[in-house]
Amino acid sequence: MKRKLLEFGGAAVVLLGILGILYLVLGRIGNGPPEVGSVTIRCGEESVIPLGNEIYRTEDGKKREERRLVPEEIGEEAPLLAYNDDITAKYEGNSENGSFYFTIYTDEFQGYTEKKSWFTPLEEPGNYLVCIETYWGTEKNNIGMEYYFWLQVE
Number of domains in the chain: 2
- Answer yes or no: pTM beyond 0.75: no
What number of CA atoms fall less than 13 Å from residue 129's CA on the CB side?
22
What is the rounded average pLDDT of the residues 98-120? Answer: 65
**Same domain for 56 and 9:** no
| Residue pLDDT, tens place only, 9-25 | 777 777 776 776 666 55
Q: Residue 86: give the domain boundaries.
A: 38-153
Are 92 and 25 found together in one domain? no
For the cut 70, the answer to whether the pLDDT of residue 29 exceeds it is no
Residues in CB range of 106: below 8 A, 6 or more apart: 112, 126, 128
Same domain, 16 and 43: no
**60: helix, strand or coil:** coil
Over residues 46-63, the pLDDT tens digits come to 999 999 999 999 888 888
User: Rounded to an integer, what distance in angstroms lies between the CA atom of residue 121 and that of residue 24?
Assistant: 49
Query: Tens digits of per-residue pLDDT, 67-100?
Result: 999 888 898 899 999 988 788 888 888 776 655 7
**Best CA proximity match to 93, nearest among 143, 22, 55, 18:** 143
